[in-house]
Amino acid sequence: MEENQAGITALVTAYSRAYHATHDSPLIFNDFLADQLFTPQEHVFFDRTIAGLIKVIAPELEVHYTDQAAALAWVMQHHSGPTTLSRSRYGEDCLEKAVRQGVEQYVILGAGMDTFAFRRLEWGSSLHVFEVDHPVTQAMKRRRIAAAGWALPANLGFIPVDFAQEDLTDALKNSAYDPEKLTFFSWLGVTYYLSRAEVAAALRSIVRMAPAGSAMVFDYMDPEAFEPDKAGGSVSAMRDITRQTGEPMKSSFDPDGLAQDLESLGWHLEENLSPSDIEERYFSARDDSYHATEHVHFAMAIKE
């Protein structure tokens, strides 16, 4: 990730959650705090910029969407919203199950503008929450938290790490993280931006630092997302846009080989949701245009 572009994708995903919470019904994921992380000027900027993506994603539709609000709704529903909303919901659904099974720590890897620790203060207070992120993104988030006037919850810790340069084990060791406690790791919207070697290194680090029975959720792209003749329009646009903003997508995993890949790293694949599974679970009861994103999968694994 280039320093001057740090965290752009984290801002765009948070903006999609803010938009959804303030414009849509029913809600796939209710991030009622995300809106407060943006200034009024940024609202104007993101509304205009995201609406303008219709030119890139579906140039043939631009003439029909001359109204900015309509173009913005189209881009949110067809492009920016579905992955971030459903994976955030999946992560917290899995977390709730894990807490019922005794998890005491929640480590959010590549946390971006995640608001869990502030949004679910009461329910989440029994958990020690750690936000791990690229130092530049994390510093930018902390400035936004201060600007929003949010008090830092006592159970929240920040751990700055560049996964491409540093070992996650060392970073966790130097924090209040307790390697003896059952832990739930979420890693949402991050594997795409790392090489397979960096993903494997992080998974090995987590295995060394968590007791058996700890859990992890993550989302990943399948290899067809990187094949120009097979990738759908939304995923191709996502790859183009992230490349232009300095956070190129780098890796994919074969859904059929994932269990074996994880097994070799010390993880048991517990659940592996395809785009059609995600559609059925989180989008089937809607009458708008939010649908699961093709080539994007969600997985949950347990440390053996």
Ligand X SMILES: C[S@@+](CC[C@H](N)C(=O)[O-])C[C@H]1O[C@@H](n2cnc3c(N)ncnc32)[C@H](O)[C@@H]1O
Which residues contribute to the site for ligand X (CB under 6 A)?
A: 1, 7, 9-10, 13, 84, 88, 110-112, 114, 133-134, 137, 161-164, 188-190, 193
Q: Which residues pair with 132 in a beta bridge?
A: 109, 159
Nearer to ligand X, 65 or 186 (CB): 186
Q: How far is the CB of 196 from ligand X (least distance, A)?
A: 14
Q: How far is the CB of 41 from ligand X (least distance, A)?
A: 22
Under DSSP, the state recorded for 63 is: G
For residues 90 and 97, is the Cβ–Cβ distance under 8 A?
Answer: no
Q: How far is the CB of 132 from ligand X (least distance, A)?
A: 7
Nearer to ligand X, 65 or 159 (CB): 159
Nearer to ligand X, 65 or 85 (CB): 85
Q: How far is the CB of 20 from ligand X (least distance, A)?
A: 12
Nearer to ligand X, 65 or 112 (CB): 112
Q: How far is the CB of 86 from ligand X (least distance, A)?
A: 11
3-state secondary structure of 219: strand
Under DSSP, the state recorded for 298 is: E
What is the Cα–Cα distance from 19 to 29, expressed in whole angstroms?
A: 11
Residue with tokens 């649908």, as numbered in its chain: 291
Residue with tokens 């750690």, as numbered in its chain: 130
Burial tier of 66 (Cβ tally within 10 Å: 0-12, 13-18, 19+) = exposed
Q: Which residue is nearest to ligand X (CB)?
A: 112
Q: How far is the CB of 219 from ligand X (least distance, A)?
A: 8
Q: How far is the CB of 14 from ligand X (least distance, A)?
A: 6
Q: Which of 117, 125, 118 is nearest to 99 (CA)?
A: 125
Torsion of CA 224, 227, 228, 231, to 10 degrees: 10
Nearer to ligand X, 142 or 268 (CB): 142
Tokens representing 43 are 């609202």
Nearer to ligand X, 182 or 188 (CB): 188
Nearer to ligand X, 69 or 197 (CB): 197
Nearer to ligand X, 13 or 183 (CB): 13
Q: How far is the CB of 89 from ligand X (least distance, A)?
A: 11
Tokens representing 145 are 């938290």
